[in-house]
Amino acid sequence: MRRAVIAATAALCLTTRAASAQAPSVGPDTALLSLVRWAFPGQSKDIPSAKPPFDSVTLLHVPHSARTFSMAQAKNVNAPPDWYPRTHPTMPPSVAHGEKGRVWACGYCHLPDGQGRAENAVLAGLPAAYIEQQVAAIRTGSRHSAMATYSPSIRMRDAADSATVREVRDAARYFSRMRARPRFAVVERRTIPATYEAGGLYSERAGADSQPLGQRIIELTDNLERHELRDAAGTFTAYVPPGSIVAGRRIAQGKSTDAATCATCHGPALGGLALAPPIAGRSPTYLFRQLIGFKTGARGGAASAPMQKVVAGLSVDDMIAVSAYAGSLRPSR
């Protein structure tokens, strides 16, 4: 019964959202989004990675774990692989399993110890109250992706719509106790490898010509197979334009724009303070997508008001620089 009610509510929300997504989009946001489409990659059709049906026979390894899983097991949305059981306490059911046919395990995307991936979000070390607040905002629609077609965000909305308040609370408590590890390298380059769009982020396309980076952040998984296997020790490289990190530090310190000093709210070393979450050492493209979300109002609602003011004073290049800078810092919790 309750499930039927949830389904009906979800259907209603989806209808409202679909209607607003179809509303004619107006000038500035359309222009802004076409300028930053690179931050919302899809999936290249010719990528040589596993496509269903996945191999359920061959047992695969990752470098730092003694465990083995098949690719089919690694793609199980209700029992994602736990390569490193010793890095975390027992997962609550919502993180480990969710429920088949109703809700995916939070750990499928955010990984069992909350380290997250470039196309979703690091949850390790976020305050529990912030996690609950954001899932609620995603459920009610006051937070959505600036790019309506970005499929990782669509899947997160499904999770927010379907998980119960209790499941989210248990997950929030659990993830808030984890510590984020440094996994995102920020590298300044004019020219970068050719890439595939690999499902919300990029991977290197071997044997093809390199490409100019221009004014973009292009974030790659360092190893596509380990990424597909959901290895929480997998790492990422975000290529950023030369000079970004220094320019970003000046912006963060309030020296080159009208934007307030980031540390006033996000705390020393940008490690988070109250409901202003940590931004140090997190995926630069995740951070950038959020800044674009605040700028377009896709991330709206009362809680986002302080950030709306901040981004009003930032250009796209400023947001690239400050995301590169924050991503280059060590996560401090």
Q: Give the binding site for ligand HEC (CB under 6 A).
A: 94, 104, 106, 108-110, 119-121, 123, 126, 131, 134-135, 145, 152-153, 155-156, 159, 163, 167-168, 171, 251-252, 259-260, 262, 264-266, 275-277, 279, 287, 290-291, 299, 303-304, 306-307, 310, 322, 326
Q: How far apart are CA 21 and CA 17, in angstroms?
A: 6
Minimum gap (Å) between residue 88 Cβ and ligand HEC = 15
**Nearer to ligand HEC (CB atom), residue 153 or residue 237:** 153
**Nearer to ligand HEC (CB atom), residue 192 or residue 252:** 252
**Nearer to ligand HEC (CB atom), residue 33 or residue 251:** 251
Minimum gap (Å) between residue 120 Cβ and ligand HEC = 4
Q: Give the count of alpha carbons within 13 A of 244, CB side only.
A: 30
Minimum gap (Å) between residue 332 Cβ and ligand HEC = 14
**Nearer to ligand HEC (CB atom), residue 44 or residue 256:** 256
**Nearer to ligand HEC (CB atom), residue 145 or residue 296:** 145
**Nearer to ligand HEC (CB atom), residue 74 or residue 291:** 291
Q: How far apart are CA 197 and CA 216, in angstroms?
A: 15
Would you tell me how many other CB atoms lie within 10 Å of the CB of residue 161? 20
Minimum gap (Å) between residue 98 Cβ and ligand HEC = 7
Minimum gap (Å) between residue 297 Cβ and ligand HEC = 12
Minimum gap (Å) between residue 3 Cβ and ligand HEC = 16
Rama region for 95: left / alpha / beta (φ>0; ψ in -120 to 50; rest): alpha
Minimum gap (Å) between residue 94 Cβ and ligand HEC = 5
- Burial 286-309, CB ≥16 within 10 A → b, else e: bbbbbbbbbbbebbbeebbeebee
Q: How far apart are CA 166 and CA 83, in angstroms?
A: 26
Token pair in block for residue 101: 């046919």
Token pair in block for residue 61: 């390894």
Contact status, residue 113 vs residue 178, Cβ threshold 8 Å: yes
Would you tell me how many other CB atoms lie within 10 Å of the CB of residue 51? 9
**Nearer to ligand HEC (CB atom), residue 104 or residue 196:** 104
Residue 123 phi, psi (nearest 5):
-105, -20
Which residues, 6+ apart, have CB-to-CB distance to 290 below 8 Å?
Answer: 299
Minimum gap (Å) between residue 11 Cβ and ligand HEC = 19
How far, rounded to the nearest angstrom, does the alpha carbon of residue 162 sit from its chain's CA centroid?
19
**Nearer to ligand HEC (CB atom), residue 191 or residue 261:** 261
